[in-house]
Structure 1
Amino acid sequence: MTSTASVNWQAARSAAAKIADRWNQPGEPGGAITLFDVATLQGEACGGLANLTTKEPFAIDSVVRYASVTKHIFAALALLRSDAGISTDDTLGQYLPQLKAPMSQVTVGQALDMTGGLPDVRETLSLLGVSVYNVTDAATLIDFLATDGSLNFPAGTEISYSNTGYRLVETILKQKGILFEDLLQRHIAQPLDIAFHAPETWFDIVPNLTPGYWKSADGWKTSSAGLHLSASGSLTGSLRSLSSWLQSLLKDSGPGAGVLKHLSQPRALNDGTPTAYGLGITHSQIGRHQLLGHGGSHAGYKTYFLLHPEHKIGVALVSNREDTASYTALLEVMSALLDTPLPARSTALVNGLYASQAEPYWLNVTDGVASYLGAAENLYQGEDGSAVSLSAHLPMRLQMKGSAIEGEIGLAKRYFTPIEPNDCLHLIQGRWFHPESKAAFDIEGDKLMMGVGPLRASGTLTSVGQGRLLVSMPDGPWEKSFCLYFQGYNVQLISNRSRVLTFRRDECRISWEPTA
């Protein structure tokens, strides 16, 4: 049972209440936080609205999209409850012969532990100009993945987040006639009497679903997304239901029996370097306390949970607003609960834009936040004086080396120097196309133009030297950032989760003149 002498429930309730109170702004969405041990909800804090139309207040029974919190539940069901006979040592190609090498050679374990180098489908589509709102289905996405087989990096050489592995493993189960929703109802929802569901699209009916919201320049907007959800992030439910499931994990009995032990087993790179990401479960640390958890982010929804298996306690958060910093918020609550301060934020890295020399990678540092290939992490003071992230799926350990920055990102060694811009725009004007997908973009002056007709979007270009330009342009509720790496008549498109697309210069010139 929980050692109540070692935790401070009152301090944690106060911390949760302060976070929830920030959502209590007129006409704004909100969220909720729970604190629990194996038997009891020890506290809850709610703020903001569940529905901006009806003005219904947000509560722990408000139904939301859990997004990537789905991952550990799917991994548990697929590996422990499905009777599918899948091993983490099996390769994806054993079950999906349509995949090409090297993708086909990625193991199931690597696909689920973020070391597989699998390009993320959503981010790859975005680089092709496919909007977050465009509708796609499961079968065509698998066909899309099977057309190439390229990886972001050799499997097992670094860690980098991608949803694709979970999509592929779900496809393996489907081919065996096993559906995620059926497993979910039989092994978790019905035994615990909770309302978990796994819709496959954004447009499927989910009972009592709370809308998600994002804030544009002219106010709050209702979120939506067209991508087939997959078991990487399809789960829906309330915070109360999620807390019940997490209590089952902490009890290590009933539906949660053996799950945490199995999913949190140490994983490693090919060279033996241990990672902090298990199978849909992350390892993190506050002081001497070892925590397990995971987060989720869909357009307009944020989710996170942190568990302390030794003390058998946990905290969880759900929100229906895009701007919620869920991980940071729960770190504050868990810090109060354990009466253990978080490490101090670090500003040791000098603000600026940096680029690597040998690869088309970049790092943007702004007031203690490091954005690597467009993915940002807060930096904290490491014990060795380095600036570190507390992220398991994007670990950073960096320090200044003169005017340069060196260290590790994703457990791979990285070295960055301040950018040295060059004027290459006049050399790359015109159309660039991707033969396999028929996608294209145009460089017109200092802008990148992508899309057709009224959907044509414009991105700003920033030189980072050596034939590389950063692009920043809107993608629904987000701003997407990627690099153009020019090599003769080819250009690679590089982002945090997708580094496999190569466009070519369109040399075709068609002129038209009226006949006399």
Structure 2
Amino acid sequence: MTSDLQWHAAEATAKNITKSWDKPGEPGGAITLFDSKTLRGFATGGLANLTTATPFSIDSVVRYASVTKHIFATLALLKSDAGLSPDDPLGQYLPQLKAPMSQVTVGQALDMTGGLADVRETLSLLGTSVYNVSDAGAIMDFLAQDGTLNFPAGTEISYSNTGYRLVEEILKQKGILFEDLLQTHIAQPLDIAFTAPETWFDIVPDLVPGYWQDTTGWKTAVAGLHLSASGSLTGSLRSLSVWLQSLLADNGPGAGVLKTLTAQRYLHGDIPSAYGLGTTSTRIGEHTLYGHGGSHAGYKTYFLLHPELDAGVALVSNREDTTAYTHALTVMSSLLATPLPARSHALPDGLYASVAEPYWLKVSNGTASYLGSADNLYQGEDAGEAITLSAHMPMRLRWDGTAIQGEIGHAPRYFTPVEPNDCLKMVQGRWYHPESKAAFDIDGDQLRMGVGTLRASGQLTSLGAGRLLVELPDGPWKKNFCLYFQGYNVRLISNRSRVLSFRRDECRSRWQAEE
């Protein structure tokens, strides 16, 4: 493949993006463009710290969030000497896990096909706030309580951080620490400042705050969940770019990394996936790009590499509203002089639900939200097909005049417009989760969860057929999930967690006797 890379046009596009952050008293971010040898250009905008009014630069230290994943996968599989194979079942190393979770392979845990429920989202559904502190040991005990999966491993793809946490635990039990691997094999050889703190509250030199905005202004972001190797890494954009240059050069610490991480992965039935091991692949025209993004409260990151043309783009930001993937794609599109697919409006706006299943889809102005996780829609093979460019939530959908049908996460899906019913009046009262002692109340058209001043309320909307959609505040975010009622039980279903089942509280004496 030959291509004239448009470095100046791409830098102009990047500066146009960062300029939008250059407003008084607002956080910002930075974008770099590079090949394997040279930093070809960069753009910055906004502030690194709203208290000191320090401008954001490519040396500002941020939380990389899930950009960590490709680095951890590299170290665990290529540098740890732990003897891990992608085909090894997790239970081989973590005997405390129950089936079927114990039967998920290391590769499936890292390539998002394992069906592992995301810990953060599961705890959120139990009423644990993003701000609540939890440590690694308690989380492992929690994961060992129940081996239920979101779906049978290998049958679809859906994003979860839990697989990386579990593989990191395997290394820990062998006396191998992510931070030690990071310093020995990457940070020191490249002379860059990467660190992997265990918690949000650990001291990280020069770390800039992350911010989110509500109606009263910008707020400093914080999160209490223990930071696993799914997203603990911190560093500057300059340091990240140096590491990515070593991947493009395929030498030093980056030797052989892209070949390993981007090797084709498959679901059952030999269905190819665009998600590798901590990396994704995206096509723009004839070009294949590899990369990954990250999202922590108040931090957004993304990188895209074109190894064949020796080119890369990376972005970091300390503002919650940054659309990092879209920005990175836009800059890479300019660099390659190749337009992105046209946005699609083939699916009518509205709320849709599957038949006799707890799945729902909300379409609004060219965006599709599946089980509460939204992505942009683009034109597929023709104007009637709507697709996403996401590797971890691929969609390929059509409207046939009465229903939306196609695939999400490589699994077949069929949605019809929601027909509300009056199940709400039949499910009033308290619902209880005996394993965790969590509970919520349905009071009129509100779901109430939590205790004391932490009690939160969320609106209930009928999805028909014994299903209710819930929207609850959770720090800088809104969490959306479905209540799927089945007799005296109700399942809580969200994009990343589909394993919890609550029971009617007034039936407690009966089901406690059964246990």
TM-score interval w.r.t. the shorter chain? over 0.9
- Matched with 1:496 is 495
Matches within 5 A, 1:225-304: 225-304=223-302
Deviation at 1:383, TM superposition (A): 1.7
Q: Deviations over 1:362-400 (max 9, x none)?
A: 000001000000000000001244100000000000010
Q: Give % identity.
A: 76
Aligned residues: 508
Contact 2:356 2:465 in 1 (8 A): no
Q: Deviations over 1:255-306 (max 9, x none)?
A: 0000000000000001100000000000001100010000000000000000
- C-alpha distance in structure 2 between counterparts of 1:509 and 1:76, whole Å: 48
> Which of 143, 147, 150 matches 2:148?
150
- Matched with 1:223 is 221
Q: When the two structures are superposed, what TM-score results if normalisation uses the length of structure 2?
A: 0.98
- C-alpha distance in structure 1 between counterparts of 2:357 and 2:420, whole Å: 16
Residue type of the alignment partner of 1:378: N
Deviation at 1:40, TM superposition (A): 0.6
- Matched with 1:418 is 417
- Matched with 2:39 is 41
Residue type of the alignment partner of 2:501: T
Deviation at 1:6, TM superposition (A): 1.4
- C-alpha distance in structure 2 between counterparts of 1:185 and 1:383, whole Å: 45
TM-aligned CA distance change 1:233 to 1:509, over 3 Å: closer
- C-alpha distance in structure 2 between counterparts of 1:106 and 1:508, whole Å: 35
CA RMSD of aligned residues (A): 1.1
- C-alpha distance in structure 2 between counterparts of 1:499 and 1:509, whole Å: 23
| 1:486 matched to 2:485 | yes
Residue type of the alignment partner of 1:367: N
- Matched with 2:469 is 470
- Matched with 1:443 is 442
- C-alpha distance in structure 1 between counterparts of 2:240 and 2:457, whole Å: 40
- C-alpha distance in structure 2 between counterparts of 1:218 and 1:432, whole Å: 34
- C-alpha distance in structure 1 between counterparts of 2:73 and 2:303, whole Å: 16
> Which of 316, 319, 333 matches 1:318?
316
Residue type of the alignment partner of 2:309: H
Residue type of the alignment partner of 2:216: D
Deviation at 1:508, TM superposition (A): 6.1
Matches within 5 A, 1:70-219: 70-219=68-217
Deviation at 1:403, TM superposition (A): 2.0
- C-alpha distance in structure 2 between counterparts of 1:25 and 1:404, whole Å: 44
- C-alpha distance in structure 1 between counterparts of 2:104 and 2:417, whole Å: 35
Matches within 5 A, 1:30-69: 30-69=28-67
Matches within 5 A, 1:325-336: 325-336=323-334
- C-alpha distance in structure 2 between counterparts of 1:425 and 1:42, whole Å: 58
- Matched with 2:513 is none
Structure 1 unaligned spans of 5+: 511-516
Residue type of the alignment partner of 1:109: G
Q: Deviations over 1:103-154 (max 9, x none)?
A: 0000000000000000000000000000000000001101101101000000
Determine helix, strand or coil for the equivalent of 1:11.
helix
- Matched with 1:391 is 390
TM-aligned CA distance change 1:215 to 1:363, over 3 Å: same
Q: When the two structures are superposed, what TM-score results if normalisation uses the length of structure 1?
A: 0.98
* Superposed structure 1 runs of 4+ greater than 6 Å apart: none
Structure 2 unaligned spans of 5+: 510-515
Determine helix, strand or coil for the equivalent of 2:82.
coil
Q: Deviations over 1:213-243 (max 9, x none)?
A: 0001110000000000100000000000000
- C-alpha distance in structure 2 between counterparts of 1:158 and 1:509, whole Å: 35
- C-alpha distance in structure 2 between counterparts of 1:175 and 1:437, whole Å: 26
Deviation at 1:358, TM superposition (A): 2.8
- C-alpha distance in structure 1 between counterparts of 2:400 and 2:505, whole Å: 42
Deviation at 1:509, TM superposition (A): 9.6
